[in-house]
Amino acid sequence: MAISEPFGKPVNLLRVMTPQGDPQILLRVKFAEVDRTVSSDMGLNLFSTGATNTIGSVGTQQFSPPSLVPSTSNGVTTTTLTLSDALNIFLFRPDLNLGATSKCW
């Protein structure tokens, strides 16, 4: 084309068909390493201190749950919460009377 342009206007009738490739999918892959011994040493306890008269706790039994002792004085019921283990995480929502303790070695 460049050689023939000085002599006039060239017309290119050459068409090259390129085959369509297979559709491609972009993947993002993330790897996470989990140590089984750490996951088996991790524990969680959920407890209620008396919302709708439901005092109690449930947990994974990896460490002792908090002790919940209800007491009534002058018609008002209160719950005493006693923790016996050193904990990594302690959460409590007084508006829901719901808490959680967690421990990981």
- The distance in angstroms from the start CA to the end CA of the chain is 76
Per the structure, the complete domain to which residue 83 belongs is given by: 43-105
Please indicate, yes or no, if residue 35 is contained in any of the structural domains: no
Strand 89-93 and strand 98-103: the pairing is antiparallel
Please indicate, yes or no, if residue 78 is contained in any of the structural domains: yes
CA–CA separation, 4 vs 70, rounded Å? Answer: 100
**pLDDT value at residue 46:** 81
- Tell me the pLDDT tens digit for each residue of 49-78: 776 667 777 777 777 777 777 778 787 777
| 39: pLDDT strictly greater than 70 | no
**How many domains does one find in the chain?**
1
